Amino acid sequence: MTFTTGENVGPYRITEQLGQGGMATVYRAYHPNLDRYVAIKVLHAAFKEDSNFLARFQREAQIVAKLEHPNIVPIYDYNEHHGEPYLVMKFIEGETLKARLQRSPLTLDETLKLMTTVGQALTYAHERSILHRDIKPSNILLEKGTEPYIADFGLARMASLGESTLSKDVMLGTPQYMSPEQAQGQSDLDAGTDIYSLGVVLYELVVGRVPFNADTPYAIVHDHIFSPLPLPSRVNPQVTPNVERVLLKALAKDRADRYSSAVDLAAAFRSAVEADGLKELSARQYRVPLSSEAVATPPFAAGVVPAGPPSISSPMPSPSRTPGEGGSLAERYERQRRRKNLWMLGGFAGLIATCLAGMFVTVSAFSDANIRSGLFVPRPTQAAFQVTATPTKVTQTAIAVAPTTSPINILRAISNPESYVSGQPDDPLGHFALAASLYRDNKPLRAQQELFEGIRLARSNPHLIFDVAQEAEKSLDSGTGAPAILYTTAYGLGASNDPQIRDEAGQYLYTAASNVRRRDAIFLRWVGSAASETKSAGLYAFLALANQTLGQADAAQEALQTAIGLDANLAEVHLVHGILYAAQNDPDHARAEFGAAESAPDAPGWITEEARAFLKKGT
């Protein structure tokens, strides 16, 4: 529902719509009894699907309304209009910082004033255990062009209280200004997340652009979590060393390494300016477009980067592959939910659930003594890793022994991955080797970055990615998400042309989708992103199954319909369609779909067995 111009909302008369965002629409309204204008924000209707949402929203609004700081936009009122919750706030006559920056950058004096004022307001709120969660230029208002106000305090928190589809599926926050821990969906946020966002604002003010930007929200979020901060002085040479140190500390990936308060950040910036004797430091002096060097290259060509692999702190055993187990459908699914071999992928939210703290991929588990002393430490009794890819050209300087025509032998022989990658930056083998080396050196963030670069470079050879996935499944510790990432990528890129990829990667993904749990929401993000990029009917089918396992019937149907539209005759699509029909207590249609899956001429063996098991045991 939206309000219309001239409509009375309580004692307020709507005069115009000022804007609309991902969470709310804002209107200007007139209060005749007090003869003043106010701003009214109404949350999108999807946020109130939870029956308890309105009560929770009101409690949170009451907490935020207690903030009484001269530079925080106050909340005057909370109420409902035809069941729609809305907030009434002070109307600021002026413009947002975002609008101001679109006209012209701030001067150094203006930046110092803004940082000091906003820092004090944020610290005031943090001392009362209230976070903003969405600090960005569009939430900083400049009254009459000079006096800063922080708007929308706690709105992201209020919205996230609802259990609506919207609050689960959209990113509550703005990707360009989102802290790594917020992007990962962590629930224990503290002042550090607002300090990081304020650091991004400061970076934009003095450097001339935000540190990370890309074509998709997932790509931006990925960079905040994993990519090194583009050095401010390399983007804008006017940035001095002391100012650069302030930005590096404010934007540290680990919140424990950031400033302890927003006031401290503002004070450190002022001290740096004074220490360097700066009279001016502004993007007015030097403004550059986003450099391609600063953006992490996604594994998919179109730039769709899923939120990342799971945290190494959460074990993720490989899915147990037991298609065709007996029992009724209900018994089978109950057994699947209780299995110990689950994908333990950290969740990402709203926007997104938990993204990753780091990951790696190891691509060998060999008995060769040379390898034991080199990059990879094999697990005993593991089979050798076989690769059937095209040989890759290498130089002799970065390898321990002369390579053979087998890429895996080249991989084995890389003794100095850093040097190898430097000399052969377009060879995926070097990046996979470097990822393993970095993980061994306890540098998981860089390791993950190298893994994605290896995937990007190997996308024209999905069987190589598949081979790496097989070895990762056998030999990696359960805390890594490498098998999930690699199998999904290999399936999306190669299943239509490679029966082995379709068979084995598909079975892995089917089992994982059957066992996914709510905390594993990153699985949905990854498979969904890969499905969207590759237009893979099979991946959309697995996405539908994962949503069905989570009890998200509408999302499951939407993904399934997309799969049907892409390839209605695919065995994977028939199998999942049958499962969804069975869940809807429609046994006739379920049997028809299982029969179609069983009889599909190109169906992998595991699909045939699974369909027969469903038919034999009943639906």
Residue type, 352: I
pTM over 0.75: no
125: part of which helix (H) or strand (E)?
Answer: helix 108-126
How big is the chain by its Cα radius of gyration, in Å? 27
Q: What is the pLDDT of residue 517?
A: 73
Q: Are 343 and 526 contacting, i.e. CB atoms less than 8 angstroms apart?
A: no
Q: Is 602 labeled as catalytic in the residue annotation? A: no
Q: Which residues contact 543 (CB under 8 A, 6 or more apart)?
A: 513, 524, 527, 528, 531, 559
Give how far Cα 21 sits from Cα of 17, 18, 196, 252, Å: 12, 10, 22, 28
Q: State the average pLDDT for the chain.
A: 75
Read off the tokens for 417.
Answer: 């991955």
Domain 8-90, second-level architecture: 2-Layer Sandwich (3.30)
Q: What is the pLDDT of residue 2?
A: 72
Mean pLDDT of 447-470: 84
328: part of which helix (H) or strand (E)?
Answer: none
Query: How does pLDDT run across 270-315, given as a tens digit for each residue?
Result: 999 999 999 888 665 554 444 333 333 334 333 333 333 333 223 3
Give the N- to C-terminal CA distance of the chain in Å, as an integer: 41
- Entry field: residues in the chain: 619
pLDDT of 602 above 80 = yes
Read off the tokens for 552.
Answer: 């998200």
pLDDT of 120 above 90 = yes
Query: How does pLDDT run across 189-213, given as a tens digit for each residue?
Result: 899 999 999 999 999 999 999 999 8
Residue type, 558: E
pLDDT of 542 above 70 = yes
**Angle CA(325)–CA(497)–CA(297) in degrees, nearest 5?**
100
Q: CA-CA distance, 305 to 295, in Å (whole number)? A: 12
Q: What is the pLDDT of residue 411?
A: 62
Neighbour tally for 363: CB within 10 Å:
29
Give how far Cα 334 sits from Cα of 258, 338, 508, 546, Å: 45, 6, 19, 14
Q: What is the pLDDT of residue 87?
A: 86
Model confidence at 155, pLDDT cuts 50, 70, 90, reads low
Read off the tokens for 442.
Answer: 């306890």
Question: CA torsion angle for 108, 112, 113, 116 (degrees, to 10)?
Answer: 170
At the fourth CATH level, which superfamily is domain 94-294? Answer: Transferase(Phosphotransferase) domain 1 (1.10.510.10)
Q: Which residue, 416, 378, 376, is CA-closest to 397? A: 416
Exactly one of 134, 152, 223, 427 is catalytic; which is it? 134
Question: In the chain, what are the domain boundaries?
Answer: 8-90, 94-294, 313-347+476-619, 361-467
Q: What is the pLDDT of residue 85?
A: 81
Look at 586 and 145; give whichever has higher pLDDT: 586
Q: Are 491 and 502 contacting, i.e. CB atoms less than 8 angstroms apart?
A: yes
At the fourth CATH level, which superfamily is domain 313-347+476-619? Answer: Tetratricopeptide repeat domain (1.25.40.10)
